Structure formats: structure tokens, C-alpha cells
Amino acid sequence: MRKTLMGQLRTAAFFLAVFFASASTQAQTPRSVGIGSNPAGTIYYALASGLANVVTGAAPFQMTVQPYTGSSTYLPLLDNGELEFGMVNAVDMALAYNGPDRLKIGGRNPYPFAPNTRLIMRGTPLQSSLVVRKDAPIKNIYDVKGKRVTGEYPAQLAVWYNVFGSLSNAGLTWSDVKVVPVPAVNEGMDALIAGRADASTHAIGSAKIKEADASVGIRYISLDCSPQAEDRMKKAVPGYYLAHLKAGSSTGILEDICGFAYDIYMIGHKGVPDAVVQGTLKAIWDNVAKLPPLHPNFKDWTRERAASADVTMPYHPAAVQFYKEKGVWNAKMDEAQKRLLAVNQK
């Protein structure tokens, strides 16, 4: 009789443990999470929408896109945990994660300090160059000297670095052009369409570029493809590299050119529950083949690129565990993770 009672107690204890473990997991898994992005019409919005679509369809929670004027607007929300996830590039995150006391590019770092952000997944490289009207006499980066070029970008600071890096490729500075102040990237293209600027910039393949091409006809111009010019650009903006783009590969690329590229990250707050991070990653990992049909820029959003030692911020611990379980985390990544975590522990 005693053995039977003990057995029943053990069984009851087991089911109670399972119940509370399940309840704990459910408590860590909200009904909905948000992913911040740049405005509709940008590559970041398109990629955030695609990821949200896949995650919502496969994870035990919904992911919704929350567009903002630019990453500098929603980085504070990510850092304080009001927003769970975001789409930000590697250069922005180098500046925001290190803070202005540790890192400046072009003598400035106006980004809000965001030490509480963590990398979830390294995604596709963003490719771009300067854009002019199709009939403009500007043929390459050297021809923009003395021309009206969009700048300032207070609501979307990343684009300031885009233009700064492009100018640096040719050994030019902001003082070599006539700056047309605009708040963000879409407004820069609007200035080009309206004839208030001679050159602007926007990501290759974006909806805004298609809109501008349909409106006035546009053309991407080439940066200098030489190793010396690439070195100038890399020195000016760490994280940038040249991208060789073939004629006809996307709207506005009318001939073979060199643009610039840098990686896009999916990031999150360090306090996002492990179950949410791993649920998000599992949904994307298992359904990665569903991404490219949603947008052409997803062609390089791959499992192979997800975990890397060549990143500018540390990964969320649940992401590290996920990649270890998938067998794609290595010793170099461990070293990079320790080095990057140490940045904000000093």
C-alpha cells in the first residue's frame, strides 16, 4: 500500500513538474513580438516583413513589423526593451554598440548608445551606390564633385555613412559637394525626382528605386573599382566592401558597376526570453527556402551566413546555443563573442 502511494506521489510530482515547466515556457512566450524597420519602400521594411511572415507562420507567437523613420529612431526602444527585434546594419551597430566614446566614423558617432542590444542572425548584404537621373551627365563617382548631393539624414543616420563612404571611395569629402539636407533615404530620392538634387542613394532592388525609375528614369553610377579606392572606403567606414554588380541585374543598373555593400542584421534586446529567440530562429532556419520568393534580397539570407566571427556586436546567448546545436558555431566565433561582450564590461 505504501509503495503504491509513493508511486502515485511520484507520478503526481512528475506531472506537476511538467505542468510548471510548460507554464514557465508559456510565460516566456508572448502572443506577439515586434520587429522594428525603416519605412515602407525600403529594403529593411521588405526584409522585416518577410521574416515576420515566416515567423508568424511557424512560431508559437506572432511577429509584427513596426516601421520607423530610421534605425536611429528605434534603437533606443530596442536598447530599453520596449521593442523585441529590429533590422539594423553592421556599421550602425558597430557605432551604437560601442558608443561615441569608443568609436567614431568620419569624426562622428551620433547614434544612441545601445549596449543592451544583441545579434540574433546575420543576414543578407545590402548593396547600393549613388543614384542619378538616367539623362544626367554624371557617369561615375568622380563626376559628383561640385554637384548637389543629398546629405545630413538626421532621422536615418546610416545613410549619411552611405554617402560619406561613397565619396571617400573617390577621395572626396562633404566639402567637395553641395549638400542638400534631407531627413531620410526616401526623402533623398524625392529630392532627386523633384530635381532639387543631382545625386542621392538608395538600396539596390528597393521599391523606392522602382518608383523613381518609373517617374523620371534613374541610373546607379559606379564607384572606383580599384583596390586603392576600396581601401579608402574601408578605412573611412569599417564594415563596407565593394560589390560588383552586373548590367541588368536590378532596376537602374544599366552597365557593369561597382557599388558598396555591408551586412544587414536581425538584432534584439539582450533580455528577450530564450524561448522567443530560439522560436524565432527555428522558424527562420526551418523555412529559409520560403524567403527568396518574398523578396529578391533574401537570396543571400542563408543558414551559412547566420553565425559568423566577422560581426560588430555580440550574439544573444540563446542564439549562440541555437547555432551550437545546429553545428555551425566554432572556436573563432567564441573568441569574437568574448571580445565583443568585453567591450561594455570595461
pTM of the model: 0.77
pLDDT score recorded for residue 186? 94
DSSP per-residue string spanning 58-124: HSSSEEEEEE-S-HHHHHHHHHTTSSSEEEEEHHHHHHHHH-TTT--BTTB--SPP-TTEEEEEEEE
Rg of the Cα atoms in the chain: 23
pLDDT score recorded for residue 25? 43
Of the pLDDT bands very low, low, confident and very high (cuts 50, 70, 90), residue 345 is confident
| pLDDT, tens digit, 9 for 90 and up, residues 129-166 | 999 999 999 999 999 999 999 999 998 888 999 999 99
What separation in angstroms does the CA of 210 have from each of 109, 219, 230?
A: 32, 11, 28
Burial classification of residue 328, based on how many CB atoms lie within 10 Å of its CB (0-12 exposed, 13-18 middle, 19 or more buried): middle
Delineate the domains of the chain, giving CATH numbers in brackets: 30-125+265-343 (3.40.190.10), 128-262 (3.40.190.10)
Cell numbers that stand for 228 in this block: 586603392
pLDDT score recorded for residue 134? 97
Half-sphere exposure of 109 (CA within 13 A, CB side): 20
The gap between the terminal CA atoms of the chain, to the nearest Å, is 62
pLDDT score recorded for residue 231? 95
Helices (H), 148-249: 157-169, 185-194, 207-215, 227-236
Question: Taking each helix axis from N to C terminus, what angle separates 207-215 and 185-194, rounded to the nearest 10 degrees?
Answer: 10
- What backbone torsions phi and psi does residue 182 show, to the nearest 5 degrees? -140, 155
Bridge partners, residue 127, by sequence: 261
Q: What is the mean pLDDT of the chain?
A: 91
pLDDT score recorded for residue 18? 38
Q: Give residue 248's identity as a one-letter amino acid code.
A: G
Contact between 147 and 138 (Cβ < 8 Å): yes
* Distance (Å, whole) CA 215 – CA 2: 85
What separation in angstroms does the CA of 160 have from each of 143, 202, 255?
A: 19, 11, 26
pLDDT score recorded for residue 41? 86
Cβ density class 265-289: b for 16+ within 10 Å, e for less: bbbbbbebbebbbbbbbebbbeeee
Residue 107, sorted as left (phi over 0), alpha (psi -120 to 50) or beta, turns out to be left
Question: How remote is the C-alpha of 62 from its chain's centroid?
Answer: 21
Q: Give residue 258's identity as a one-letter amino acid code.
A: C
pLDDT score recorded for residue 156? 85
pLDDT score recorded for residue 158? 84
| pLDDT, tens digit, 9 for 90 and up, residues 5-61 | 555 545 444 444 434 444 444 446 789 999 999 999 888 999 999 999 999 999 999
Helix/strand/coil percentages in the chain, nearest 5: 45, 20, 30
| pLDDT, tens digit, 9 for 90 and up, residues 235-286 | 999 889 899 999 999 999 999 999 999 999 999 999 999 999 999 999 999 9
Contact between 209 and 131 (Cβ < 8 Å): yes
Contact between 127 and 260 (Cβ < 8 Å): yes
Bridge partners, residue 203, by sequence: 128
What is the percent of the chain where pLDDT is above 70?
A: 92
Mean pLDDT of 291-313: 94
Of the pLDDT bands very low, low, confident and very high (cuts 50, 70, 90), residue 4 is low
pLDDT score recorded for residue 166? 97
* Distance (Å, whole) CA 218 – CA 138: 12
| pLDDT, tens digit, 9 for 90 and up, residues 176-195 | 999 999 999 999 999 999 99
Mean pLDDT of 77-85: 96
pLDDT score recorded for residue 346? 61
* Distance (Å, whole) CA 62 – CA 75: 21
pLDDT score recorded for residue 343? 92
